[in-house]
Amino acid sequence: MSTFWIVLLSVVAGTVLSAGIACLPGLHIYNVMGALVLGILWLDALPEPCFWSFLTRPEVYVPAMTGMVVAWSMLNTIPSVLLGTPDESALFTVLPGQKYLMNGRGYEGTMITAVGSLAGAFFVVCVLAPFAPKYLPVSQEVLKGHMHWVLWIIITFILMSEWPKGGNRGRAGWAKFFDAWKGLLVGIATFVLSGVMGFILLNRSPVGHEVAFQNIMPAFVGLFAVPWCLQNIISAADVPPQRTTDSLDIDGDIILRSVWSGGLGGGFAAYMPIVTGGVGGLLAGHACAQRDERIFIMGQGVSKFVYYVGAFMLLFVPGLNLTRGGGAWMVKTLYTPSSTADYLMIVGSIAVSGAVSFLMVSPLARLTLKLIDRFDYRHVSSFALAVIVAMVFAITGWIGLFIAAVATGIGLLPVLFGSRRLNCLGILLLPIACNMSGFGDAIVGWMGLN
């Protein structure tokens, strides 16, 4: 079989496999890719080739992994919007997504986000890919010594830009001030507690070394996905009957403006270390000041796609030598890209997988909506929570469940006090910013984690 067909079939296989995984709440594609990498390393180490040894060929697993990342970043919209179980990068799609759901328009909300992802695919293939080899090495040279303070100013903005939500009634004075600041102080506490947890997990992770790929996964699940599920189970109103539609209330202008804001946010998050899609989306939302909710939700679709896929693609950009995102790090353990041909193969794979993934969004969203229509939303959320817990246990065992439980405690703080959930990202931002500025070791020493 020619390399073309091998690559094409691998992309499609990776895409279809990922499509199923993406619809399961709480399961991140990086968890599956981590398992895949371990499997390939095991196959490679076998003394005699077996039937599955073809999987160890780069022209099989690299396009397949590309397809997995692309499909997941597009199709994971379905559980984020319809089941309210986002990963961190989809954090901002949940509230507007649930508005659509509560108005019986969950399908429309999902499809608008998916159109954003498709637009993100066009942005990656037609804008990022042609210009990245020429301009990114320049920016890399200028910014390479400055990433640490960029992280610090992001932290500063996240903490300073949260506004008080209390103190709404009563006479002026300290009582009103403290009532208002309750939520803000909880937000800061959430950030610091997440940061402390990050220091522990990054320096003394109790998760076994054989699943070291996943040492932060239980914490992320606990911080972001589990609190949504619990909130849905405890407080969710009954979801009204859902209707599907053949057309969406969007036009070219909305798509263009979504690409503008989402591409900016996702691109920034893809390029900067540790900055996630959620942070990129937040910054881009503030920068572009869009008032239209459709642009916001579609922009989040663009941002998430560009963040995941763009970061993965950076590994292959000729002359850049930049590894960003879990997917790229995992591929790098198996294969080092060496030529423009690799880059073109990846860009082509993104295009093919983006198209196939988009075609699968509608049927899978309809299927999920049937599930929601048939069962009580609380039961669906309970099922989602069970899947998440099972996943954490299967990959990281009891210790992973313990980490997830502690993280859930932290992740529930913003839910209970109405503060910003993004503060949970202190888990990565704080330890990494400290490390990059050169005083992470001192803090680790103070914490007794040496």
Partner 1 sequence: MKGFSHFMSGVAVASFCPWSIEAALNGNPVFFVLGGACGILPDTLDFKFYRFFYRHDVYVEPDPIALDPQAIADEVARAVNMGVDERRYIRLKLSSIRLGADYWQQYTVDFDNENMEVVVRFGPVTNTGQVPVPGTAEKNTKVGRAKIKAKVIQTYDSSLKVDIFDGPTAGLAPREDGNFDLEFLPWHREWSHALTIGFFLGLLWLLGCTLFGNWLMGVQGLILMTGCYGIHVIEDQLGHMGSNLFYPFTKHRVPGLHWMHSGDGLPNFLAVWISCIFIFWNLHRSMEAPQYHFGLLQLFWVALIAPGLIFWGLRWLLTRKQGTDQLEADDAADEWNDMKSGN
Q: Tell me which residues touch partner 1 (CB under 8 A).
A: 92, 95-96, 99, 103, 135, 137-139, 141-143, 145-146, 148-149, 152-153, 156-157, 160-165, 167-169, 171-173, 176-177, 180-181, 184, 235, 251-253, 256, 260, 282-283, 285-292, 420, 422, 437-439
Minimum CB separation of residue 297 from partner 1 in Å reads 12
Is the Cβ of residue 228 or residue 260 nearer to partner 1 in the bound state?
260
Tokens encoding 84: 């309210």
Structural contact between residues 201 and 211, judged by C-beta atoms closer than 8 angstroms = no
Torsion of CA 282, 284, 287, 290, to 10 degrees: -90
Give, in order, the Cα–Cα distances in Å from 211 to each of 207, 230, 404.
7, 27, 15
CA distances 151 to 147, 273, 328, 347, 447, Å, are 6, 8, 21, 29, 22
Q: How far is CA 238 from CA 91, 344, 377, 383, in A?
A: 22, 48, 7, 16
How many other C-beta atoms lie within 10 A of the C-beta of residue 130? Answer: 10
Residue 44's SS3 state is: helix
Q: Which residue's CB is nearer to partner 1, number 171 or number 209?
A: 171
Shorter beta-carbon distance to partner 1: residue 438 or 448: 438
User: Which of residues 59 and 292 has its CB atom nearest to partner 1 in the complex?
Assistant: 292
Closest approach, Cβ 394 to partner 1, in A, equals 33
**Number of C-beta neighbours around residue 168 at 10 A:** 9
- Angle ∠(234,417,216) on CA atoms, nearest 5: 80
Between 285 and 348, name the residue whose CB sits nearer to partner 1. Answer: 285
CB of 293 to partner 1, least distance (A): 8
Write down the least CB distance from residue 276 to partner 1, Å.
14
Instruction: Name which of 15 and 98 has its Cβ closer to partner 1.
Output: 98
CB of 38 to partner 1, least distance (A): 36
Angle (nearest 5°) at CA 413 between 212 and 278: 60
Minimum CB–partner distance for residue 424 and partner 1 (Å): 13
Identity of the residue, 235 or 450, whose beta carbon is nearer to partner 1 in the bound complex: 235
Q: What's the closest the beta carbon of residue 157 comes to partner 1, in angstroms?
A: 5
What are the φ/ψ torsions at residue 21 (nearest 5 degrees)?
-65, -40
Please say which residue, 53 or 103, places its beta carbon nearer to partner 1.
Answer: 103
**173 or 241: CB nearest partner 1:** 173
H-helix or E-strand containing 278? helix 277-288
Q: Rounded to whole angstroms, how far apart are CA atoms 73 and 236?
A: 26
In angstroms, give the least distance from the CB of 197 to partner 1. 22
CB nearer to partner 1: pick between 45 and 172? 172
Rounded to an integer, what is the distance from CA 88 to the centroid of its chain?
A: 5
Inter-CA distances, 77 with 25, 116, 213, 415, 420, Å: 10, 10, 24, 21, 21
Task: Please list, in sequence order, all residues whose beta carbon lies within 8 angstroms of the beta carbon of residue 12, skipping any fewer than 6 positions away.
Answer: 67, 352, 353, 356
Give me the least distance between CB of 73 and partner 1, in Å please: 21
Asked whether the CA dihedral 124, 126, 128, 132 is positive or negative, the reply is positive
Residue 145's CB is within 10 A of a number of other CB atoms, namely 8
CB of 211 to partner 1, least distance (A): 33
